[in-house]
Amino acid sequence: MSERPILVVGGGPAGMEATRGLAAAGYRAVLVEKRDELGGTPVSGSYAALTPDFRDAGEAMAEMAATIQGDPLVDIRTGSRVTDASGQAGAFAVTVEGPGGSEQLEVGAVILATGFQHFDPGRETQQYGYYEYDDVLTLVDLERMLKTGQVLVPSTGKPPERLCFIQCVGSRDRQIGNEYCSKVCCGVAAKESIEVRKLVPDCRVFVFYIDMRMYGYWEPQIYWVSQEQHHVNYIKGIATQITRTKDGRLLVRGEDTTMGRPMEVPMDMVVLSVGMEPSPGTIEMAGVFGLALNKYRFIDTLGGALDTVTTSVPGIFACGAATGPADLEDSVSSAAAAAMKAIGVVRRAALAGST
Amino acid sequence: MALHPNVDPDKILEKAHHVQDGMDISGHWNRMFEQRVIRDYTPELLDKVTALSGGESLGWCYQCAQCVPVCPVDAVGSYGPRKIFRRTQTGADLFASPDLWQCTTCMNCLRVCPKEVDMIQIMPAVREQAVLAGNVPDELQKAFENTSSYGNPLGESPKKRAAWTTRSKAPVPLMKEKKRAELLWFVECYPSYHPRGIDASLALARVLNHLGVDFGILGNDERCSCDSQRLAGEVGLFEECAEHNIKQLQRYQTERVLVTDPHALNAFRREYPRLGGEFETIHYTTFLADRMAELGMSRPLGVKVTFHDPCYLGRHHGEYDAPRRMLRAIPGVELLEMGRCRENSYCCGGGGGGMWLDGFMSDHVNMRLSENRVVEAVETGADVLAVCCPLEVSRFEDAVKSQGCEGKLVVKDIIELVVEAMGPDNDS
């Protein structure tokens, strides 16, 4: 008996990498993506350049998609959703609803790569006035702006003279419930700070932070570069409040903790470094497949540090930001691990069936 | 300050304390004689705090500093919740530090704290130990002693607690005589004794009568709710007062307790239940906000009013709207908001024992919190600073004087504005 195909849910970087890995090993894959195009959040969120290497996000995602599009082992179903699942490791029956209607598929294993969504800074608190002030943006809003090649203050239409990032918005916060570090926001802010300085060389850029978390190569790749070559100012101490000055600028109030002094500094634009939360798709798929979620409602993985992809249901694996905050490097690495484990399930099932 | 062994103190030109031509120039330059290098940290001092029940969360601080810009004391001094953690970590014993007495428990730090470091628990826990060890600023100690001897921090005779009622045209029945009433009005100390507090009590008595509310007071059987003394560390005294009040209240049949003082509201809602006193309690603004139309307020006041949210009504108990609804219902009142209002309201400095620490605080702040607030109120262009916490009237009136704002701003309890709009009292 031959191996059943493996279902991959989610066509972002993790899902595409998992699919590519399955096909490269000679296994059949069905990739189900609810949006009409592949590329995941880097595409739907209009990212300009990827962190940390500044690659054009659209190009990079298209390149990943090209590795699986047209592959005879890969069945890509965009505009489609998984609505029901039953069975067990080696023999799952899933219902996929797509543009052509509803269809039942037999698959041997499942990989969930359903990703994250950006924290909504107006959801829990209006602390920073995101919905009040036009000139308070998120990393994602600025990314969209960078993609147009112009950084302009929304309220004036002029380039900013002073712009700051506020880190850890919606992360590391017991009151909001997101106690985790979202991992990528420090790096993304540093990357965007460089891009702002390149596009608007006269703009002074500040980053207000608690800790700059630049693990591994991100330290020299983006953090040091932003400070040493692009003269971005890093200031330890998170802003608490944004108000408006009489001349219509934003006034950022906080404390400079290394000086132990209060600060009230004017800005033209404030960028909130919003973190990650589980996407609606992640929570929905956990329901369809009966998977346990962790306390933050990401998909729970059982193997600790040494197995980042095994879920509470045998034969179903999760990767990328569906299991918690993850950057691209984490996402494609865990996708490959999930592909390998899924192959193990269908291959072993086939071997058992043939004896 | 310890000097280096090689330094001859007689040869120091900059004395540790020096007054020149009446100006105190102590300190600043002498800093160079202090040890600059941190040779060790003091986790044991932090452990001392976090080992206390209620003190645990001080150890959770990760120094993000969101608390500092919203701390009312930091705005006029150099105290801030984040700094407490850091100073404790670097050698300051909170149990013996002036920092211990500066927090007003206003809760604005906790509101923004991502780690839920809870000064409302930490401060009373550490202060309780300081109180037990006898390390209490004198003026606070005096307030404790007054409360213990007389049942009120002002040191007034407990036999005169109900004396204000003799000035009331409207009847203020005693529960002792009435036995049952729909509403038991817990008057509290400042509304019973302080002249400006009494003004508000008389006004509230008139309004309750006008509405035909079935109410009574404990009179001389009432003692301080003692919540601020508790927050200032006098837990034993608090329990004594609480048990007394609970016993008194349990003698009568009543549906609800009405309080004038948001600090009493906190005691009744959050603290008395664990001592066996379960009473549904309501602040007078919440009680009256829906009934303003019944008051026949026919005299438009023609004033601009700004409103100060009491910490213990707003942040602690979530009531921001009732006082504003009352003010908007008064004819001829234009309500102007201060920049720091509602959730981010500034503190008057009276909470958590601050009412009895003004002398102590003057060594640590460049202006009183009440003064900082009055300046903000004047900036709105308001004629009246409206309040609904009995600690505030006197604090803000003093601040109006000290800031030279007399003639620009008057301080009134909302209930005083209500009776002004009702016109002269011709009921009796």
Checking if the pLDDT of B152 tops 80, the result is: yes
- Does B62 contact A176 at a Cβ distance shorter than 8 Å? no
pLDDT tens readout for residues B283-307: 999 999 999 999 999 999 999 999 9
Cis status of the peptide bond prior to B9, with omega within 30 of 0: no
For chain A, how far is it from start to end, CA to CA, in angstroms? 9
- Does B64 contact A243 at a Cβ distance shorter than 8 Å? no
ipTM of the complex: 0.82
pLDDT tens readout for residues B73-86: 999 998 999 999 99
- Which of A127, A173, A257 is facing B65, going by the closest CB pair? A257
Per-residue confidence (pLDDT) for residue B132, from 0 to 100: 97
CA distance B383 to B380: 9
Closest residue in A to B66 (Cα) is A240
Per-residue confidence (pLDDT) for residue A259, from 0 to 100: 86
Alpha-carbon distances, residue A144 vs A37, A150, A175, A329 (angstroms): 18, 10, 29, 22
> In this structure, are residues A251 and A240 in contact, taking their beta carbons and an 8 Å threshold?
no
- The reply to whether A148 touches chain B by the CB within 8 Å rule is no
CA-based nearest distance A119→chain B, Å: 15
Q: Which residue, A68, A51, A7, A50, is CA-closest to A32?
A: A7
- Does A255 contact B80 at a Cβ distance shorter than 8 Å? yes
Minimum mean pLDDT range among A254-263, B105-114, B245-254: A254-263
CA distance A344 to A339: 9
User: Residue B270: is it exposed, middle or buried by C-beta count within 10 angstroms (0-12/13-18/19+)?
Assistant: middle
Per-residue confidence (pLDDT) for residue A260, from 0 to 100: 86
- Does B116 contact A253 at a Cβ distance shorter than 8 Å? no
Q: Which residues of A touch B82 (CB under 8 A)?
A: 255, 257
- The reply to whether B48 touches chain A by the CB within 8 Å rule is no
Q: Which residues of A touch B62 (CB under 8 A)?
A: 172, 210
Closest residue in B to A210 (Cα) is B64
- Does B113 contact A241 at a Cβ distance shorter than 8 Å? no
Query: In sequence order, what are the residues at sequence separation of 6 or more whose Cβ sits closer than 8 angstroms to the Cβ of residue A132?
Result: A126
Give me the residue label for tokens 């009352």: B326
Question: Taking the CA atoms of chain A, what radius of gyration do you get in angstroms?
Answer: 22
- Does A240 contact B112 at a Cβ distance shorter than 8 Å? yes
What is the four-CA torsion angle of A38, A40, A41, A42, rounded to 10 degrees? Answer: -60
User: A91-98 and A101-107 as β-strands: parallel, antiparallel, unpaired?
Assistant: antiparallel
Per-residue confidence (pLDDT) for residue A246, from 0 to 100: 84
Question: pLDDT digit of tens for each residue in chain A (355 aa)?
Answer: 588 999 999 999 999 999 999 999 999 999 999 999 999 999 999 999 999 999 999 999 999 999 999 999 999 999 999 999 999 999 999 999 999 999 999 999 999 999 999 999 987 666 899 999 999 999 999 999 999 999 999 999 999 999 999 999 999 999 999 999 999 999 999 999 999 999 999 999 999 999 999 989 999 999 999 999 999 999 999 899 999 888 889 999 999 998 888 899 999 999 999 999 999 999 999 999 999 999 999 999 999 999 999 999 999 999 999 999 999 999 999 999 999 999 999 999 999 886 5
Q: What is the CATH number of domain B138-289?
A: 3.40.50.1860
Per-residue confidence (pLDDT) for residue A126, from 0 to 100: 67
Structural domains of chain A, with CATH: 6-115+279-354 (3.50.50.60), 119-275 (3.50.50.60)
Within chain B, which residue ranges are assigned CATH 3.40.50.1860?
A: 138-289
Per-residue confidence (pLDDT) for residue A354, from 0 to 100: 65
Q: Which two tokens stand for residue B406?
A: 């007399």
- Does A255 contact B116 at a Cβ distance shorter than 8 Å? no
CA distance B291 to B282: 14
Rounded to 5, what percent of chain B is helix, strand, coil? 50, 10, 40
pLDDT tens readout for residues B165-196: 999 999 999 999 999 999 999 999 999 999 99
Per-residue confidence (pLDDT) for residue B5, from 0 to 100: 74
Share of chain B above pLDDT 90, in %: 88
pLDDT tens readout for residues B375-420: 999 999 999 999 999 999 999 999 999 999 999 999 999 999 999 9
Per-residue confidence (pLDDT) for residue B428, from 0 to 100: 45
- Which of A172, A175, A253 is facing B69, going by the closest CB pair? A253
Q: Which two tokens stand for residue B110?
A: 């906790």
Per-residue confidence (pLDDT) for residue A261, from 0 to 100: 87
- Does A257 contact B112 at a Cβ distance shorter than 8 Å? no
Per-residue confidence (pLDDT) for residue B36, from 0 to 100: 64
- Does B64 contact A238 at a Cβ distance shorter than 8 Å? yes
> In this structure, are residues B283 and B325 in contact, taking their beta carbons and an 8 Å threshold?
no
- The reply to whether B113 touches chain A by the CB within 8 Å rule is yes
- Does A238 contact B67 at a Cβ distance shorter than 8 Å? no
CA distance A165 to A198: 16
DSSP annotation string for A72-90: TTEEEEET-EEEEEEEETT
Q: Which residue, B399, B352, B353, B398, is CA-closest to B375?
A: B399
Minimum mean pLDDT range among B185-194, B218-227, B419-428: B419-428
Q: What is the pTM of this model?
A: 0.87
Q: Which two tokens stand for residue B248?
A: 């008194």
Looking at residue A216, its amino acid is G
The count of other CB atoms within 10 Å of the CB of residue B17 is 9
CA-based nearest distance A272→chain B, Å: 15
- A221: Cα separation from own chain's centroid: 20
pLDDT tens readout for residues B3-54: 677 777 777 666 667 776 676 666 655 454 556 677 788 889 999 999 999 9
CA distance A291 to A313: 6
Per-residue confidence (pLDDT) for residue A210, from 0 to 100: 96
Q: Which CATH number fits domain B294-422: 3.30.160, 3.40.50, 3.30.70, 3.40.190?
A: 3.40.50
